[in-house]
Structure 1
């Protein structure tokens, strides 16, 4: 028989015998077809693609690609009446490259929706800023946005994504500007001929600028002129402007409020946060781990066997470099294991805990949420990955309800399991768990049944469908799509537990039978079905878990509370309306109301209209007013007095802010919603200065906004509750933020005591304290004297010091380094019997943190003159420092050079 026909028959058998009805988008992988046909995978893959071209097979793109026969596809459409929806499902997968991103419908769901909205926005899309730590995947996300733009026709098929890392030339701004915009002959020394820039190459395409905060201010101004007007000049050019139509995607690891000009930052209507690896669910990290290992298996062409200890360590260790570091650590691990396999002459590469880099150790401490998430993962004893298993996913990333109940039982005490109070506590914990899982986690799967099938297998999908059909007949209104998905995941966990020989014990079965008799009856019918289909013997206790699941369906029907009202007000013809439309479309609601205020309009008339819109938006929980600039900020207070409603105002509104507000409006009361949005968007504050006796401190930065506000917060925290001292933020031009007044107006409000920050306003007789002085301690002593405060030790708070470390460190986690280095300073103080002053501690912590990062990056430690003399003169101090440093060496698998020990010893002697 011809091989191609053999492959087609094998796929037909799989569709006929193993494909569950109604799950058209699942299909079978080339590996599954190859096994069924008895041939190798590469041949099956090639034949399947030929059959697709011939129209005999339907292909579903994804990771991995899946197939069904054309006959099965057509019959299923006819049987289910799904011709239109089936075609739309295929088109959606083909038109959405974001589905290739891990977590696209979970932790990255909001980011993906924002990106799609930005690219869909007519006529050419919206400029976008990606924010996230190093290694979180911003570059990959930008490339995926480009691929999506290609599918939309925003860029031509021949166009390329033009990428540029602004940090590469940050030391030479002139060269950076030349690379970006090009230059004319004679523009600078060495410019012998005219040269086009990257902007030219990005015409009718996308320009991706990584580390965009490294652009100098003049570069930011040139770029936002291009973004606004589609025009630019090359470096040294003075004639007419050139034209360019391009969409700008920027990426930064820094806080954009302090690192970008405010005028430049506002040119990005869409700001997308890419979460760090630690912020993503453990289930996603487990899936990512297996994908990366599968990639390495393909790379070396050998199967990988990964032990359970190695899986747990790679899953749970602190990975401050995010996905980038995880990839490097896995590659190093595989290299070590490959070398070991080669020396032993074995083909199979075995990865054990001994193969891992020394710093890959599980976290020693974790919070309750983390432990609960970990308990929800069913980890396999080991993984066996073949080189041809492209895109294999972990089998059991599913919450384990059995473990949850066991932990609750241990907390209650085994002897008292029949106690009524303890049963109520356990019941509440289970119901809350199911309810939260159904309402939050499972919702992310509603559009991702393909992923669900990869997790649990098609036999479980078919079984769950039959079980739901039974439950719907006896429990009308309690069972829906969410219940089906949760049931499929639970059945898979049940099978895994029984295969592993673990018991299924429900100590509250008697109470469940009394309180949920209808659900118990349905659960027993479902158990009979499970035993028949999976050939398993289920203990009676399993009925209790299934009954709780069906009961949770009723719990999930409780109506949600009314949301907080959201109103967007902005100047322009459609500015507010556009932002509200994008947010409502993404979130799937009409919660955001908009009011566009013309620049030439009469303010009093529009204030009346704004009052009407706010009344319309209120549903009894208050209104969040999102505005673009003055004088709309002050309207909030006026409208609140006129209506009697609770109103909060946030300014500098962006599309991202509106999306976040609409998404969370039903989940938080007004004050908590403001706090949630305010994490990333600052609330405009008035500066009430009363009386001539007040003392005024001026906080400064370039814009008077982001950084100045943080300086203000640090000073206020240090001062405590001193109402007679006012802190005012001022920009580099001497203008008080949000008032339109110069700093001279402050003199009439009180006595100017000091200027603190990054800009010296050079006010006569008013001392300037730099931000560095403030953070390192000396500035606090000065301010204490200027304010004539009682003497006290001016210690920096851990939060402030962590913020300082974040400015220095590239990939290490500031919080972790702060803890480790603080232990060293305490150890040195105790062993040497001397007290370190706060600014000495700070200097030492910053130095040691940067030293560890340099050594981890492969850089050499500094040479320190007179090393031998220092060791000879201070043997006790040398030993104490060497012992303290040993903790860093062990934690990061580094060797600290003796020159660095000599430096610390001399530093301690001098302090």
Structure 2
């Protein structure tokens, strides 16, 4: 047969007039070949024909559906359907243009010159992120070094993941080296401590502050040559944003404490926020970030994309568990349509939870396979099926009508899927390690020695991990195993005369669950550490042997003696951990009253599940020396080498730490405020092995003055402070000034209100301000002319050019500090009204500041108010006064300061009918002396 025969056959078959043959000869030849192929082979599907034709036509460029349909003389709808099948099978790529163009992946790089990168693969199944991907590419490829970018999106949309992909893309495109760092920094961790933030980001020079004993590089230096990702950038304080201005503009910075040396770093900044950047970030900051990338919420993404995410997450679990997972159509429909408020993160978490539940049933032989059904899903997911009518069309197009299950197998291709590492398994670890040692000719004795450390290390990590997140196992462990472990531990507690911690209960439940599973699968249990355990921990081992008998009786399985060695480790390590407390920081709570300290410590210890923190009640009828003796006695008995953290409420208790440190030589840090959350946090971190300095620093970061932790009682009241903005040109201008202040001054809007006023005349505005003052404390006034008032005033032009912003911020910080202190001290000052006392202290401090020509920062202000308040209350209680060492020399050296402060305190002495001794004046002098220096 030759080509002419095919042409004639084609003409006869399709009844084409002869006169048209010459006009369409090439098209007819191609169609003849298609016809003959189908006729001769008989098995070739239409979709295969479409794919082969596309590959040939794509040699000259991307092809549209209509071009392909006309070329094949096929129905356009059928060709479109086939192309979509090819696209879902990852054989072709389609563009986002109109009309849509198609291109086989194998031709893509040759024809377009474009490399198929990780971002390209990602966007294929995430079409709604195509704009974000193109923006990311543009930002990273922008010459010469890329441009900084800001990622916007709600919690859980995948901002951190997207930033990580940007880093990978930059490596793929050789914009950065393969080992270029990707450093993540969560701004929320340091939002209220600008100095700590500065040191974290920019590093510290030795001697910059007390405790800076060596040079330390910051994250910017660590990220040199790579990318620094600032997560939750809206929590970065104004100071932090300003610090980046110079760096982003010039690429230079200084470590904290450096004054002369300038350092350089080549770092691309990617930031992310869940907030509106216009309201939460300085415009001077956002101006330096030209590329704004928005990641849509899950609810804004197409059903097709959500379906791909669901499949991807189930595929990950299949690979992780090394099991085939069947997911019912109804379960998929639920995941497709339920209200997933926390976006992709919640979707993946709910899928993991469903798989974990099914896996637990499977390994306990309550199921024959890993089949996820709708009844296995959390209730809030299952509820989506109630809206079947609304989603039926979407479900049919994605899942089909007759499909019962979607199958995910672990041996399928793993491209584009990141597999999470599962938890270590003691049996697998032992098996692999022992086999390796045997293969290397290691003797049995050496194997036992080597494995002793590994097994102990495994159980220590195992128990600590359960202690942190063990509650999740309650959802996946067989209830019968839970009851069995409960019986085993009650028996063991009786025999060993001990009470086991919650983490032993949870850890053993998971361990026994794995043991039962392993035995049922016919796999061996080997404990190379058995002989040493049996000899070293004889009593615990005998109890563990009896426990294996209980397990055998309940499960009808035979456990090897090796398992008793593993159970012994739970008993031993829990006891040893109790004895290791001397290697951790001690937490002592000292508070005035008969049971104040005890109440807080009891709550903390019960929540933590261990008796760790210690309470010492400072009864009001006890002298300070008696309370101090109690503290000494406890410390001598417990003897913690890593030191102690004292949480105290007021008065002479503040000095106990210094006394103990000098007498006994053990380091002590004192937190001058105590509440239950602080006790819990201090004890928790001490138990985990944090150093004394780390615990102290972390506690001080979450003091009761921190508006981000616990709102004070004032925060629930009406606003108590006000800033008045006044303009002659109408209220609209005053509102504009209000907006400017909102943007540049840090304000707790539950405490401070900015009130815009339209000025009709001086008399009018003065009257209106007096009326506002009756309801609120007016912090300052912004006005184009002077108003008769003692309230601080700022000229309109100074505010507009931002010269007055720092001064306004200082006034706001001071007033807010006074406001909160009065509320917080109310329950700690026993002898006088705390609000009235603070008002008097405020006037006293203002007098001293004026005479010294200084302004205390908010940190020192808090310290001195607390000190003077507690001092007054202590002296009124006739407690022993605290001596100031080398008092006479200090007064002689600072005579002028001494008499200035002593004179200013006369008003407090007179009003509260008390004597403030020279020692007390010296302590107060320290605050102002440091400020002057």
- TM above 0.5, yes or no, is no
Which TM bucket (shorter chain)? 0.3 to 0.5
With the length of structure 2 as denominator, give the TM-score of the two structures: 0.36
Higher Rg of the two aligned structures: 2
Higher helix share: 2
With the length of structure 1 as denominator, give the TM-score of the two structures: 0.37
> Which fold has the larger relative contact order, with Cα–Cα distance below 8 Å and residues 6 or more apart in sequence?
1
